Every structure is written in structure tokens, then in C-alpha cells.
Structure 1
Amino acid sequence: MKPLIPYLTCATLARTADEGVGIAVVLLAQQRTHSAGIAAAVLAAWMAPHVVAAPAAGALAARVRRPAVFYRGALAGFAVAVGALTLCVGQAPLGVVLGVAVAGGACGPAVTGGLSSVLAELTGEDERARAYGLDAATYNVAGLGGPALVTLVAALAGAGVAGTVLAAAAGAAAVCFPRGVRAIPGERAPKSSGLRALWRIRPLRAVTAGTTLAFVGVGGLTLTAVQLEESRGYPGAGGVLLTVFAGGALAGALAVARRPPRAAPPRIAAYSLLGTGAALAGAAVVEPFAGCAALFAVAGFFDGPLLTATLRIRADHAPAGVRTQVFTLGAGFKITAAATGAALTGVVAGSGPATVLLGIAALQGAAAEVVRRA
């Protein structure tokens, strides 16, 4: 357990900063420029490299002789970019701001999938299930804590201070990165090898295809949750639904970490997707707010084991030479799918939030079938 403490500290700090950046940028843009267009442009510049840079980042992390130096450097660069972005938004020419955002976003794959890939080097086979359950929990803690931290600090001291706090958290993550992570002999694969492994190795292909499809639906959940409550007479309550979903996911991840299921990870992934889909379908048809919120919490609870199983499958089946690439590519595909889903949700929003939520639920069921059959 001792080697995991610095890793979990590092991952929680880094991912909290990553989750909070989007809200900080929006608040800064509103405060300094009063322009939603500038906020959207900066956010797009920050997110795009998460997808585009994933293969290169994974390949580079796999090829360096001293991985700890690489990850500390990536996290330090991430921290500097967040700090610079905090200073630049609304103060510097837009081209400079976008350049800083692109540079910071290029460090994103190291913060998400890249960090998760090093757990396999810090743990043995017998403790891997618990380790990835705890790693999944860091994503959920960050998903809850990052936005909440920014909102609270911005309300008390301003958006600029909130951005500075996020930069400090990312810097602290660089300091906390665990020692003992070493290069694996033979880990010199070309950039394309991670894609080849994702396609040729059945468990990797199945979980990547399934979770990518699922995230097309998950990407539209934010807008749909807000619209669902507005349609039922609870304007602004969409934030509550998303919060209980994230809280349920944290509870699910911690439950798996405490008592790992005996079932194989692919089966856990499939059942988790089915559970999430069934709960969201129920939330689409249940009228009382309390019942709807409870079902969102149940849906989130199943999402916790899904992430744990996904991380475990990547760690167990990715060849050592391309493990980091597999993690970063998998995260990149999910981000791309979520962005696509958000755009599609805007197109079909006119059909009503309950109908859209049923569609999101159906995608989770289809994803479960993909995991089972791919």
C-alpha cells in the first residue's frame, strides 16, 4: 500500500486541477471579457490536444529512459500552463492565450491515462484490482472536487485566485509523483503499435469499443440532466443530478477497491454498463425528483466499477512495450466520443430530455453488448 500513497496523492491533485480548469477559464473569461465566445475558444484549445496528443504522448512516455522525469516534467508543464492561462485570459492577445491553452492541453494525456499506466509498475498482480479501484476513485474525487473548489475559491477570492490554486495543485502533483517508476526493457515501440494492440487484442478491443460508444451518451448527460429538471419544474436542479451521479461513481469505485469482485474485468464492465443504462432509463420515466435523483446515483454507482474494470483490462492485457500508449489512446477515444455526444445532444435536444436520456441509456446497453461480443 505504501507505494500507492504518493501515486494517489499525485493523481488526485493533478486530476482535480484538470477537472477545475474548464470552469476557471469560463469564470475568468466572463469576468474579464464578458465574452462566451472567448471562453468557448479557450476551452476548445485546451481540450483538443487531449485527443490529438494522446498517441504521441503515450509513445514518448514509453520511450524515455527515465519515466519519472517525464511525468514530473509533464505535470510541471501542466502547472505552468494553468498558471499562465490564469494570467493571460482577458489580459493578453487571444492568439497568445490559445497558444498557452494548446500547450497545457498537450500535457493532458499524461494527467489522465498516462498516470494510470504506471500503476502496473507499482503493484503486483494480487493487489492490482484494489489499486485500480482506488485510481478510479481519484477520477471521481477530482470530478466532484475540482469544480467545487473553483466555485468556492472564486466566490471568496475571485476566479484568478481559483486558477492559481489549481496551478499550485498541479505543481504539488509533480512533486508527489512516486519514485521507483522505471523504464521497462524493450519499451521502444513505434507510435502505431498502441493502435495495433487495441485492435488485435480482444479484451482491449472490446473495452475500448464499448466505452467509446458509451461515452457518446455520457457526453450528452450534462445538458440532458439540466433540461430534464427544467421540463419537470425544477430549473437549475440539473447540477444536483450530476452531483449525485458523480457521488455514486465515487462510492462504486471505493466499494470495488475495498472488496474486489471475483468476476473477470470484462464481465464487470459489461454488467456495469447494463446497470448504468437501466438506471438512466428509469430516471427518464420516473416523475418525482427524489426518485430521479436516486436513480442517477445508482447509475453513477455502476460507473465506478466500469472505470476500475477498464483500467484493469488495459493493465492486464496491454503488452509492456505499448502499455502507456494503450492508456493514453483509450482516454483520448473517450474524450473524443464525449465531445461528439455533446454535439449530437444539441442537435436532438428538441425531442425532449426524457427521450434523449432514454437514448443515452440505450447506448449504455449497446456498449455492454459490444464489450461482450467484440
Structure 2
Amino acid sequence: MPEEWVMPEGGARRRPAGLRRYLATAFLARLAEEGMAVAVVMLALHRTGSAAQGAFVLTAWMAPHVLAAPLVGAVVSRMRRPRLCYAGALGGFATAIAALAVITGRAPTPVTLAVALAGGGCGPVVSGGLSTLVAVLAPSGPARDRAYALDAAVYNAASVAGPAAVSVLAGLGSPGPAVLLLAGAAAGAAALVVTLPYGRTRPAAPAHPPATLRADLAAGLAVVRRTPELRAITAATCLAHVGIGALATTTVLLAQGRGQPDGGGILMTAFAAGALAGALAVGRWRPPVPVGHLAGIALSGTGLALAAAALVPAPAACAALFVLAGLFDGPLLTATLRIRADHAPAQLRAQVFTLGAGLKISAAACGAALVGPATALPAPLLLLGIAALQLAAALLHTLARPRPPRGPGAPRAAARGSETAVP
């Protein structure tokens, strides 16, 4: 039995060791990541009177994700002591945030951007790399299903708490202390990640000579491209996140157009709260549908709810529909994490997780950039476009994922397919 599992006396059920510490680690790290999207812009505005530098710094912070993700995943998968890699990356993440709290709006712009690029290079560990530890800490089956649902809930909880904490602290004083708080959260994650029971995550004596780093990078990209389930969920979630990246700007415009100048934040909070509730609900009630079907249902439900919100002018009804959209969006992340864990080879799991997360973040950044020139269009039309992207992603996932075989062997195949359901 691996070192990271404990067997209760008198029973055969295995329980994850350290899962609570992992969830605390992930929450603190993601709190820092989610808060930075708001904090760095507020800090630049406070110190320079313009949000332009904040936008440049945020772009530099996000840009390395897609480039660094495969490299980070390959390095993590090759290390015999991965806790050193995780601790180092989270420590670098915290250091960069603390440095930005001091130099943003004060140091020359190239220096600030260089620090943001360095910190953003550690981002794939937070956005995707940490989730690979769930497969180490939880056994396959219902325990891992629930662990991934809780991991998704942590993502959504951080997306609510991070911007909220920054806004409250900035309102009480200035954005500088808020950014330092985020640095402290990342430092806390770096300290906690060292205490996790990793066990043996790599074989002690490989039967074959280890591959080169370049070969590992190529293998990680190839497994996503060649595995139908991974290819389908990656393509679908990237398409959906082009819309999600444009959602914040669109909700602000939608609320302003309907006479609610401060309503954009309320709508985004409603969406995030719904996503948190949806992820928790999947973890608690575990719907008996295959995980691939769950992803398609989540994308379709999010799209339909956002489309309805675009057509309903009443503020209360619109907010309720944003909650509903979030309720569907929460299970999508759970399904995505499960599909990656189920279909990625163990030695390439870190690459698959970090690459998938990096591509999603890059897609969201593209969506945020694309909506800028389109702000002259009516906000309901923009929201309908975002909804259409979710529905298109659901269709893409349905067409791209493999079909179960039919014929005499279908019942046996269906039984095997049910193993990937969220029980």
C-alpha cells in the first residue's frame, strides 16, 4: 500500500491522508491568483491615476501561462521530490506578488513587467499543477470523485473570496496592503504544500533510462492531442473560456445599460457563487451520469441560462439566471478535472493538468481582449454571443468525444464506461 494511504482498524475502506491540508493549500494559492486580477489594476490606478500600467502588468502576469505550462508540468513529473518543486514555485509566486505590491507605479515599467512575467511563470502550478496532487492523495473511485469535486469548489470559492477580500481591504485603506495580503496567502500555501504526504510519486528505479526534458514536453502535448477524451474536453473548455473571459466586461456593460451602474459586480458574484454551489452539489450528491455527459450538460446549461439573462431585463431575474449559469458551470470544472485524471497516463498527468489550465487561461485572455473593440455593440448581444460560445463548446465536446461501441459487446462496454461516471 502506498505511503499516503491509511487503513482504519477493522475496515477495508481507504481514506485520503492530507486532503484537508491540500484543500487549504489550494485555496490560499488560488485566493492569491484570483485576487491579483483585481488588485494589480487597483494598485496601478491608486498610484499613477491610470489603470493602463495595471492592464499591462496583468497581461504580463497571465501571458506566461500557456508557454510555461508544458515546461512546469514536465519538470514536476520528472522530480523524485515534487514537494520541492511545488514549494519553490509557490514561494516564487508569493515573492513576485510581494515585489509587485512595492514596485507597481513606482519602479520603471520594464522592471515591473519583468517581475510580473517571472511571477506569472509560476502560475501554472497554481492553476493546474496543484490539482495533479488529488490523484496522489485520493484513491481512484468515489473518494477521488469527491476529492475532485471539492477541488473544483475550492477554485470557485477562491474566485469569490479573492476579489472580495481585495475590494474590502482597498476600501478600508489602499490597494497596497491588499496585494501584500495576497502575497501572504501564497506564502502560506508554499508552507503548507511541504507538509502534504506525497508518498512515492515516481518509481524508485525506472526500468528504462529517463527521457529527456524535450521528450517529456513532446509526450505531454501528444497525449492531449491523441487521446480523444482529453482532446475533446480541452478544445471544448478553451472555446467556452473565450466567452468566460469576456463575461466580466460584458456584465458591467449590461448592468450599466439597464440602469444599474454597480450591478456588474453583483452579477459576477452571483455567477461565482452559483459555480461554488454547483461544485459542492456534485461532490455531495454525485449525479449518476458519465463524466463526459456531465461536461456537455454543464456547458449547455450555462449557455442557456446566460442567453435567458440577456433577454430578461428585470435585475432580480437576471441575477437569478446568473446564479443558475454558475450552478451549471461549477460541475464543468469537476468533470474536466476527472477526465484529465482518468485519461492522462500517471507519468504525464502533471503536463496534462498544467497544459489544460494554461490553454484555458490563454483562451480567457483572448476573450477579454476581443470584447474590448466590441463594447460599442449592445450588451445583451454580447452576452448572447458568450452564451452561443458555451453552446458551441457543448456541441464540439459531443462531436469530439469517442462514442461507446454498439452491438453484441455493447453492454460490457457500457459497464466499463460507467466507471468514469461521477457516482
User: TM-score under structure 2 normalisation?
Assistant: 0.86
Deviation at 1:343, TM superposition (A): 2.0
Report the AA paired with residue 329 of structure 2: D
Of the candidates 16, 26, 51, which is equivalent to residue 66 of structure 2?
51
Specify which structure has the higher proportion of helix.
Answer: 1
1:92 aligns with 2:92: no
Aligned to 1:180: 197
CA distance in 2, matches of 1:63, 1:143: 31
Aligned to 2:148: 132
1:67 aligns with 2:82: yes
CA distance in 2, matches of 1:346, 1:88: 28
Deviation at 1:63, TM superposition (A): 1.0
Of the candidates 321, 338, 347, which is equivalent to residue 321 of structure 1?
347
1:196 aligns with 2:213: no
CA distance in 2, matches of 1:344, 1:53: 23
| 8 Å CA contact retained: 1:184, 1:320 | no
Report the AA paired with residue 27 of structure 2: T
Q: Which whole-Å deviations, capped at 9, do the CAs of 1:295-346 have from their partners, x for residues lacking one? A: 0100000001000000000011001121101001101111111111122222
Q: Which runs of 5+ in 2 are unaligned?
A: 1-15, 401-423
CA distance in 1, matches of 2:117, 2:71: 15
Report the AA paired with residue 117 of structure 2: V
CA distance in 2, matches of 1:157, 1:347: 34
Aligned to 2:231: 205
SS at structure 1 position matched to 2:287: coil
TM alignment of 1:171-320, pairs within 5 A: 171-177=187-193, 178-181=195-198, 182-185=200-203, 190-320=216-346
Report the AA paired with residue 242 of structure 2: V
Report the AA paired with residue 354 of structure 1: P
What percentage of residue pairs aligned between the two structures are identical? 54
User: TM-score under structure 1 normalisation?
Assistant: 0.97
1:146 aligns with 2:162: yes
| 8 Å CA contact retained: 2:17, 2:137 | no
CA distance in 1, matches of 2:375, 2:171: 32
Q: Which runs of 5+ in 1 are unaligned?
A: none
Deviation at 1:174, TM superposition (A): 0.9
| 8 Å CA contact retained: 1:286, 1:292 | yes
Aligned to 1:38: 53
1:19 aligns with 2:45: no
Report the AA paired with residue 351 of structure 2: Q
Deviation at 1:270, TM superposition (A): 0.3
CA distance in 1, matches of 2:49, 2:396: 44
CA distance in 2, matches of 1:339, 1:81: 20
SS at structure 2 position matched to 1:125: coil
| 8 Å CA contact retained: 2:42, 2:51 | no
The ranges of structure 1 where at least 4 consecutive aligned residues each deviate by more than 4 angstroms after the TM superposition are 186-189
1:356 aligns with 2:375: no
1:333 aligns with 2:368: no
CA distance in 2, matches of 1:105, 1:61: 17
